[in-house]
Amino acid sequence: MSPERIASLTHFALMPLPNFTMIAFVNAIEVLRMANYLMGRNIYRWTVITPEGGPVSASNGLAVDSMAADACGTPDMVFVIGGIDAQRETRPEHLSTLRRFSRQGSALGGLCTGTYALARAGLLEGYACAIHWENLSALKEEFTQTRFLKELFVIDRDRVTCTGGVAPLDMMLHLIAPRVGTAIITQIAEQFIIEHVRDTSAQQKMPLVARLGSANKSLFEAIALMESNIEEPLSRNALASLAGMSQRQLQRLFREHLGVTPTHYYLTLRLRRARELLMQTDMSIMTITVACGFQSACHFSKSYREAFGTAPTTDRRRQLPSLGTLVGGVRAAA
């Protein structure tokens, strides 16, 4: 989707499936509401729709009212919002409604498991998309003509998909950035107490159990020990001993299941924590150096640059979003 078309989006339709996830639904709408409030005029409007109209219940038991989809005209963007058991809750009427909007020229999107409905309607073939990590592996097998990525949200031509939770908030900030500008984006972030607006390069944090399945429990124990000992890293000998295995076993498990040595994994874990602190807090670089178990700022800076290709000071300057970051993050993923 070109920046020009993104900037032209003003009317958003949201189609929640039964048992949809309320947090994803609300986060998408609240960005639009706050943009209108700060701009002092209604530059955005949104319509809640279902194929037949009427109330639809979220997974938390609350219900929202909706109008019939054929009564809302042709929205600029239609988001389908999923939740619990999207496979069962997606009905033929939802699929035909989405296909009709596609024929009419509306851009289409999915929030949380709403991406499943788009895929089942055949509207994601040849596209890249995002979906919640719990559904990632299964849908990769079911819809082989679609590329499922690990990013929080993906914008690929006229398809905009998002994982769910609070990620729709980041996604909507990117969608409105070309129209409202940096100052309004920053004000919305301040109103919602957001310290860092994530872009399309941000990936979901998938629990190891989701990525590795039934890997040796000793591996998870070793990783839990690493995560609990960031400021004062454990030696490999201490790590193996506390996890109840030999150093040789520890080495083998990491090589077999993660493809790296325990030392490399531990260092990467500490550096990722350091990057989070750099981007999301105002802690000094020296304080972060100590908090992440590095003996000197020089060692920390060298390791950081080798891992991320940039210096810690450079990432610190990127802490506040700029218009270039926001607009540049809206990219085609194909």
Does residue 91 sit in helix, strand or coil? coil
Which residue is listed with tokens 């990432």?
Answer: 315
Distance CA 131, CA 83 (A): 11
Identify the weakest region by mean pLDDT among 42-51, 66-75, 201-210, 224-233.
201-210
pLDDT(43) > 90 = yes
Residues 179-205, mean pLDDT to the nearest whole number: 78
Query: Which pLDDT belongs to residue 72?
Result: 92
Distance CA 174, CA 153 (A): 10
Q: Do 3-196 and 208-317 come out as alike in CATH topology?
A: no
Side chain identity at residue 73, one-letter code: G
Contacts of 260-264 with C-beta under 8 Å, sequence gap 24+, read 262/222, 262/236, 263/236
Query: Which pLDDT belongs to residue 321?
Result: 44
Query: Which structure tokens are listed for 205?
Result: 């944090």
Query: Where are the chain's structural domains?
Result: 3-196, 208-317
Q: What whole-number percentage of the chain has pLDDT above 90?
A: 56
pLDDT(211) > 90 = no
Q: pLDDT category, 334, cuts 50, 70, 90?
A: very low
Question: Residues 6 or more apart from 67 whose CB is under 8 A from it?
Answer: 47, 48, 49, 53
CATH number of 3-196: 3.40.50.880
Does residue 221 sit in helix, strand or coil? helix
pLDDT(187) > 50 = yes
Distance CA 188, CA 331 (A): 22
Query: Which structure tokens are listed for 195?
Result: 């310290």
pLDDT(146) > 80 = yes
Q: By C-alpha distance, which of 309, 304, 242 is closest to 267?
A: 304
Query: Which structure tokens are listed for 140?
Result: 């990769």
Strand partners, 159: 108, 156
- Nearest 5°: the CA angle 329, 74, 88 is 80
Q: What whole-number percentage of the chain has pLDDT above 70?
A: 88
Query: Which pLDDT belongs to residue 320?
Result: 43
CATH number of 208-317: 1.10.10.60
Measured from the Cβ of residue 291, the count of other Cβ atoms closer than 10 Å reads: 16
Does residue 294 sit in helix, strand or coil? coil
Query: Which structure tokens are listed for 134?
Result: 């719990």
pLDDT, tens digit (0-9, with 9 covering 90-100), for 311-321 = 998 888 765 44
Query: Which pLDDT belongs to residue 329?
Result: 37
Q: pLDDT category, 282, cuts 50, 70, 90?
A: confident
Distance CA 308, CA 119 (A): 34
Measured from the Cβ of residue 92, the count of other Cβ atoms closer than 10 Å reads: 10
Identify the weakest region by mean pLDDT among 68-82, 124-138, 153-167.
124-138
Most confident of 69-78, 134-143, 166-175, 199-208: 69-78
Q: How many helices (H) and strands (E) does the chain have?
A: 17, 11
Residues 300-309, mean pLDDT to the nearest whole number: 92
Residues 272-286, mean pLDDT to the nearest whole number: 82
Q: pLDDT category, 207, cuts 50, 70, 90?
A: low
Query: Which structure tokens are listed for 226?
Result: 């690493």
pLDDT(6) > 70 = yes
Residue 212: is it exposed, middle or buried by C-beta count within 10 angstroms (0-12/13-18/19+)?
A: middle
Distance CA 308, CA 35 (A): 34
Query: Which pLDDT belongs to residue 267?
Result: 94
Question: Residues 6 or more apart from 205 whose CB is under 8 A from it?
Answer: none
Q: pLDDT category, 208, cuts 50, 70, 90?
A: low
